[in-house]
């Protein structure tokens, strides 16, 4: 997994690529905890993300709960295989997700 962050005013874009699984979900959590203060819009750019397991879904759900209190969250550039996992778990209805 590779994470790059770009803060533009109160909009934080996090580009996450590779695999988001049990081995690295904590790393994303740490990055989010360190970066979300004062952020009103969180955009995950998942271009290049090929695989998300439940450990990753938990991080996204926690982030969504937090962003509901302080702004909004979007997930963009979602690959078909990752979209399938979002659809199976109903995350596609729960979050603002686009391919």
Partner 1 sequence: MEQLTIEATVNNLPRVTEFIISSLEELNCKPKILLQMELVIEELFVNVAHYAYRPDVGKCIVQKEIETSPSRSITMTLIDSGIPYNPLEHEDPDTSLGVEEREIGGLGIFLVKKNVDEISYVYKDGQNILRLKKFF
Distance linking the first and last C-alpha atoms of the chain: 19
Instruction: Please identify, among the stretches 7-15, 27-35, 40-48, 81-89, the one whose residues bind partner 1 according to the rule CB under 8 A.
Output: 81-89
55 binds partner 1 (CB under 8 A): yes
**How far is 50 from 83, CA to CA, in rounded Å?**
10
* Minimum CB distance to partner 1 smaller for 7 or for 22: 22
* Minimum CB distance to partner 1 smaller for 23 or for 33: 23
**How far is 28 from 30, CA to CA, in rounded Å?**
5
How many residues bind partner 1, per CB under 8 A?
22
């Amino acid at each position: 997994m590779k994470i790059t962050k770009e803060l533009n005013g109160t909009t934080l874009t996090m580009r996450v690529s590779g695999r988001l699984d049990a081995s690295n979900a904590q790393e994303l959590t740490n990055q989010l905890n360190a970066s979300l203060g004062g952020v009103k819009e969180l955009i995950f750019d998942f271009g290049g993300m090929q695989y998300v397991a439940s450990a990753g879904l938990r991080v996204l759900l926690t982030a969504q709960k937090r962003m509901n209190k302080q702004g909004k969250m979007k997930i963009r550039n979602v690959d078909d295989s990752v979209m399938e996992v979002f659809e199976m778990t109903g995350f596609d209805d729960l979050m603002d997700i686009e391919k």
